[in-house]
């Protein structure tokens, strides 16, 4: 199981970088950090469910999401303000609040972990997870773009339409591919993804219970 966790961390980090390839520095690096940190949260939840031999509570999911998102937010803040750009100069937007990447990281952590947890109540968990997490990332990214531009003083009634188009474009090109790649890799490598007794609150690694017909 350890190798699956290792691949989960490496591949979700790489998927994050790939989703931000059009703007590798700083967006690609930030997305890579975010993907790996989110996987740390899912790994912790999977191991916690195995230990307690029962379904996770929403409180555990939100705490894990907030913790993973906070770690990602701290690292994204460092990358955002101190990563060199292609010209070797620091990529710094001093007009934007220092806490914006931090808040975005926490929102991504909570939203993605909540969305991932909801798979347990779906008849089609793969499609439901892909769709749900795609929408969550799209909305968070769109709001983040609008907030960031507003702090730069770029949002006015005259430019509101352009700002909304920019937020939608950034979300479609970055956030949605990130969500789909992260979810697909997690489905493949997370040992806690599938379990025959999800809806009974069982452990994700427990064997399926024998049906009355087979006894």
Q: CA 199, 204, 210: angle at the middle one, nearest 5?
A: 70
pLDDT (tens place) for every residue of the chain, 215 residues total:
577 888 899 999 999 898 877 777 777 888 899 999 999 999 999 888 888 777 788 999 999 999 999 999 999 888 877 766 544 444 444 445 677 888 889 999 999 999 998 888 878 888 888 999 999 988 888 787 777 666 655 555 555 566 567 656 666 677 888 999 999 999 888 877 754 434 333 333 333 334 334 43
Q: Are 20 and 30 in contact (CB under 8 A)?
A: yes
The predicted structure's pLDDT at residue 138: 87
Residues 6+ apart with CB under 8 A from 147: 100
The predicted structure's pLDDT at residue 193: 74
The predicted structure's pLDDT at residue 167: 59
The predicted structure's pLDDT at residue 62: 94
Read off the pTM. Answer: 0.76
């Amino acid at each position: 199981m350890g190798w699956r966790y290792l691949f989960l961390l490496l591949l979700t980090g790489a998927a994050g970088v790939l989703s931000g390839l059009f703007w590798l520095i700083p967006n690609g690096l930030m997305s890579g950090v975010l993907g790996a940190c989110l996987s740390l949260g899912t790994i912790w939840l999977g191991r916690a469910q195995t230990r307690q031999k029962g379904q996770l509570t929403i409180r555990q999911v939100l705490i894990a999401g907030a913790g993973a998102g906070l770690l990602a937010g701290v690292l994204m803040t460092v990358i955002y303000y101190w990563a060199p750009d292609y010209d070797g100069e620091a990529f710094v937007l001093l007009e934007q609040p220092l806490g914006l990447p931090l808040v975005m990281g926490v929102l991504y952590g909570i939203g993605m972990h909540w969305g991932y947890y909801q798979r347990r109540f779906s008849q089609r968990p793969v499609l439901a997870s892909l769709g749900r997490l795609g929408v969550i990332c799209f909305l968070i990214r769109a709001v983040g773009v609008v907030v960031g531009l507003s702090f730069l003083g770029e949002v006015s009634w005259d430019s509101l339409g352009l700002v909304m188009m920019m937020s939608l474009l950034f979300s479609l090109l970055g956030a949605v591919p990130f969500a789909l790649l992260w979810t697909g890799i997690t489905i493949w490598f997370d040992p806690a993804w599938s379990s025959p007794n999800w809806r009974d609150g069982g452990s994700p690694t427990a064997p399926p219970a024998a049906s009355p017909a087979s006894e």
